Amino acid sequence: MQKELKDDRLRFFIGDVRDKDRLYRAASGADFLIHAAAMKQVPACEYNPIEAVRTNIDGTINVIDAAIDNSVKKVIGISTDKAVHPVNLYGATKMTAEKLLVQGNSYSGDKGTKFSVVRYGNVIGSRGSVIPLFLEQKKNGLITITDTKMTRFWISLEEGVKLVIECIKKMKGGETFVPKIPSMKLIDLAEAVAPECEKRIIGIRPGEKIHEVLLTEDEARHSLEFESYYVIYPEYNFWRESNPENGKMLEEGFKYSSDTNNNWININQLKELINCKKY
């Protein structure tokens, strides 16, 4: 990364989110901090639960402490739809991390550090995502599908970065930002990646859901809708500084789920996205 991003204003540290002293050094002099460190492979988290807790929960606590003690102005934590109604340890640790970050606003006191969260779905082509798996299976002429009904939210890395930058500008502390992003069917993705291959249904894996949710009915009661995203405001606001902007109230019973989304990516659009990424 240091070779690719040649800029004298940038400093690069080798470290670990679990290393509090190293985090304190890295956060020194920073105005904004984006917390994207996570152990995110579901099976790995299940097999190594203590390591998952140390990285995703204890690591988040370290980020909060380092940010406050170094008088960082704003902190954004990157979360996932797996944190909503979690069915696996990874999701449970990310749900906890969300709660810790939001309530970090209570701890900042006179330091004035503001904490918010960005919660979105699968990032196209990220490490451990399904496209590299399908491409590897394509070599053998067989693509495995867990369930033909399975749907997922999808966002590009570029869109995710743009969202985070916008949220840093907009945040007042305590918000969870949820972007309006398209859904896709896993069976459509498999067809886009390897139309010539056999598709075999193998059944849902442990710790998986058929559909993902980015905003629940309960959260909708204290959320507002904006043009390109939703904002979930904290129910427990002990710092009294998160003043909602003029967004639109959500209808009673609203839920933002990948299967009831009104924005879908079809097979041809998936092909274009995959080709653009040059896999």
The full set of domain ranges for the chain reads 20-277
- Cα separation, 54 vs 100, in Å, equals 14
At 124 the pLDDT is 80
Of residues 205 and 163, the one with the higher pLDDT is 163
**CATH 3.30.230.10: does it fit domain 20-277?**
no
- Which residue, 179, 173, 278, 188, is CA-closest to 225? 179
DSSP code of residue 118: E
**Tokens at residue 89, please?**
């340890």
Please check the confidence at residue 240 and state whether its pLDDT lies above 80: no
The pTM (predicted TM-score) of the whole model is 0.93
At 277 the pLDDT is 64
Residues 205, 206, 209: CA angle, nearest 5 degrees:
75
Tell me the DSSP string of 211-235: S-EEE-HHHHTTEEE-SSEEEEPPS
Q: What is the pLDDT of residues 180-199, one digit of tens each?
A: 999 999 999 999 999 999 99
Catalytic residue among 3, 6, 74, 82: 82
Is 111 one of the annotated active-site residues of the chain? no
Cα-to-chain-centroid distance, residue 65:
21
**Tokens at residue 249, please?**
């109230």
Please check the confidence at residue 156 and state whether its pLDDT lies above 70: yes
| Section 102-125 average pLDDT | 92
